[in-house]
Chains A and B, each alone.
Chain A
Amino acid sequence: MTATFVGMPPFPTAARAALEDTQLRHNLAHATGTIRDKRARVVAEVEDWEDLRTAGAAIKDATLANLEQHLVQLEARLLEQGAVVHWARDAAEANRIVAGIAKSHAVDEVVKVKSMVTQEIGLNEALALEGIAAWETDLAELIVQLGDDLPSHILVPAIHRNRAEIRQIFLERMAAAGRPAPTDLTDDPAELASTARLHLREKFLRARMAVSGANFAVAETGTLVVVESEGNGRMCLTLPEVLVSVVGIEKVVPTFADLDVFLRLLPRSSTGERMNPYTSTWTGVTPGDGPQEVHVVLLDNGRTRALADEVGRQALRCIRCSACLNVCPVYERVGGHAYGSVYPGPIGAILNPLMHGVGEDAQTDSLPYASSLCGACYEVCPVKIDIPSVLVDLRAQVVDAHRGGVPPVTHLAEAVAMKGVAATFGSSRRLGFAERLVRLGTGVAQRLPVATPWTNARDVPKGPPESFRAWWKRTDGGRR
């Protein structure tokens, strides 16, 4: 894959391009609408859903508050069960570890379970530089990889593609990656799926090493958990000799009883199913069964930075269900690529700035503003992440990062205007004076021969003859 998020423009620019893509708009409106309705139906079936959400949030918060203790326990159990445990501070360290394991076994290809964290660290690209091919085996990830494309959704990375486009990708690209697609392939979904199955089966049977992430890591037993729909993940987790799992440090849950809560919250929030088809669990090495060499790479890569953020640390509760993407009116219209990260949508708009820090680049700084603050994400989040509040807090961090110096050109007018507004709102007398200019201002806006961001699609309200406060004063509150 050569496609990359590096160098993506700030959100408003990327969004403008996406909004003009009619195919994208159509595909997204259809797909998000369908998943949204499915989720709403199955969530409504659960009487104690709100209690479950509260429990999920509480377990994550308690775990994050004592993260070190749980991670150390997880490491100890994993070692007892014959796994090798690695710690990685950042993407580069994690990639080096995985590449090193591959090279020690002299493999030139690995099969991959769908995982967000390996996308986050750019593992496929790093392995490619070492001459190792990493094959995505999740159907949607395969479509993205073959199409030399970028994922645009956490759960459904090819959500921006329709079946006609997928047929085209299979016909043109599959041959270069292995078993080719039949030349008479149609866009019938069952036919597309069976073509992918045959293509992937060769890879499963041949591969000696697999790479996965994990949805959860249970500290008390050292058990890793992968939740999926297709079963391709389980193929990777059971067939090869060597299994390497890259796991974000926030994935740890203390006990199996805690895991229960999340296994109930996740499928309904994510795919809108009562239960996901495949839940795979493994605890180190089981002699004579499955991979006989098991590695776990525990990854920070900005997570401790997020953990240090008093308001934002709740983002680490995230179980990557993507319910927030599916209900977000902004995501529904612009899709995932505009966010410039493998984590798009509302959760991406907070997670990326929290993990990278703000005030460094315009793209990251634009993300907290990529929301109308409508709150639909907070309402559906299974672990109750108050995304709107975190967005507002991050906006303040962006502004604060530019205080004291000259604000960047894009913020200069705004920063000056806000100072003026602050002074005006500090006194009702000054505000009353400013309001006398409103009629003049709206009149000018209406007649201006240039379109502003407001007026190029929206008319401007007509300024009233007098403000409310002027009316109240003149008429003594309407009494005279």
Chain B
Amino acid sequence: MRVALQVTCINDALFPDTGKAMVTLLRRLGVDVEFPAGQTCCGQPMVNTGYLDEAVPALRSFVDAFGGYDAIVTPSGSCAGSARHQHQIVARRSGDAGLVAAVEKTAPRVFELTEFLVDQLGVTDVGASFPHAVTYHPTCHSLRMLGVGDRPRMLLEQVRGLRLVDLPAAEECCGFGGTFAMKNADTSIAMGSDKARHVRETGAEILVAGDNSCLMHIGGLLSRQRSGVRTMHLAEILASTEAAPPTVAPLSVEPVETRGLAL
């Protein structure tokens, strides 16, 4: 089985440690994962903002890069959802029959990390060790678009030393929502503030989720509040072992000190 890593554009540019953790984790489980260098973005930022024509170049890159693989694994419920539920909409609208046919092949082969581990590899104990108090936020697209259910929890429960604390109102959206975070920034922040409050209520040291975009938003709030809670992608926790623990501190977010005018 040829397996490709769809690292996602946001992880590629801002959170490469998540991509590296995916490689470490999958290799440890015997999967020789490849990184097709032609990949760019799944196109979701354009599609969800209404720019469907503008998503076509990204979609072409996607099918060109991943066309030859049996499985495409991604550390993002949102990007997996985009590939499985939106790519065909973009392809059909483009009027390119070749693109439609290519998407027919790639879309069903895209798996979010926990789906791939539990359903395709059949593992829940990935041999990880992470001795910290952790709370888990189920991101909306993994929860409701893909239906990953309790797969992330099954995986986290097998991690040595990890103490999993329940997050209140866990299934409520954090308010990121892609360009929603900018177009409706006030509402987005109001939602995120409540999510951050629930995270702090748990007393956990780390907030974990399967999407770095949501974590960038919640983490940005937690950092601004000097909350002492750090966000980490699930892949980084699952990749962690006693011999090779991840760097937990300092916070990955650099606080901003000066503020003048408000735009």
Contact residues of A with B, CB < 8 Å? 11-12, 15-16, 19, 329-330, 333-334, 368-376, 378-379, 389, 392, 394-400, 414-415, 418-419, 421-428, 431, 434-435, 438, 442, 446-447, 449-464, 466-469, 471-473, 477-478
Contact = CB atoms under 8 A, between A and B. Distances in A.
Interface string B161-182: 0000000000111011111111
Given A372-B178, A471-B16, 18 more contacts: A12-B187, A15-B186, A16-B186, A333-B187, A372-B173, A375-B143, A376-B144, A422-B58, A425-B41, A438-B14, A450-B263, A456-B262, A456-B263, A458-B220, A459-B224, A464-B17, A472-B19, A477-B35
Contacts of B57: 422-423, 425-427
A374 B144 CA distance: 8
B256 A333 contact: no
Interface string B136-169: 0000110111000000000000000000000000
B219 A395 contact: no
Q: Is the interface of B mostly helix, strand, loop or mixed?
A: helix
Contacts of A472: 19, 35, 37
B9 A425 contact: yes
A15 B97 CA distance: 42
Contacts of A424: 40
B50 A372 contact: no
B190 A375 contact: no
B140 A374 contact: yes
A442 B186 CA distance: 21
Interface in B180-239: 180-193, 216-217, 219-221, 223-224
B241 interface: no
B182 A454 contact: yes
A392 B86 contact: yes
Nearest to A373: B177
A76 to B, nearest CB: 41
B186 to A, nearest CB: 5
Given A435-B12, A459-B254, A374 B38 contact: no
B55 A422 contact: yes
A372 B49 contact: no
Given A418-B54, A446-B254, A458 B224 contact: yes
A470 B188 CA distance: 33
B98 interface: no
A397 B38 CA distance: 31
Contacts of B85: 389
Contacts of A426: 40, 57-58, 60-61
9 contacts: A375-B143, A422-B56, A428-B61, A455-B256, A456-B262, A460-B256, A469-B35, A471-B19, A472-B19
Nearest to A389: B85
B180 A459 contact: no
A456 B190 CA distance: 12
A177 B35 CA distance: 72
B192 A458 contact: yes
A478 B193 CA distance: 38
Nearest to A411: B50
B132 interface: no
Contacts of B254: 446, 459-462
A392 B48 contact: yes
Query: What are the nearest 6 A-B pairs in CB distance?
Result: A372-B177, A426-B57, A458-B220, A395-B50, A374-B173, A399-B50
A449 B257 CA distance: 9
A49 to B, nearest CB: 17
Contact of B173 (A376, A457, A469): A376
A418 B51 contact: yes
Contact of A453 (B47, B50, B185, B224): B185
A30 B49 CA distance: 32
A461 B220 contact: yes
A367 to B, nearest CB: 11
Contact of A467 (B16, B23, B182): B16
A458 B189 contact: yes
B261 A451 contact: yes
Contact of B187 (A15, A373, A427): A15
A463 B145 CA distance: 30
A452 B14 contact: no
A472 B46 CA distance: 26
B177 A468 contact: no
A462 B57 CA distance: 28
Most buried by A among B7, B38, B252, B263: B263
Contacts of B55: 422
Most buried by B among A12, A329, A435, A466: A329
B181 to A, nearest CB: 7
Most buried by B among A373, A427, A466: A373
Contact of B263 (A400, A446, A453, A473): A453
B38 A464 contact: no
B13 interface: yes
Contact of A454 (B51, B185, B255): B185
B13 A450 contact: no
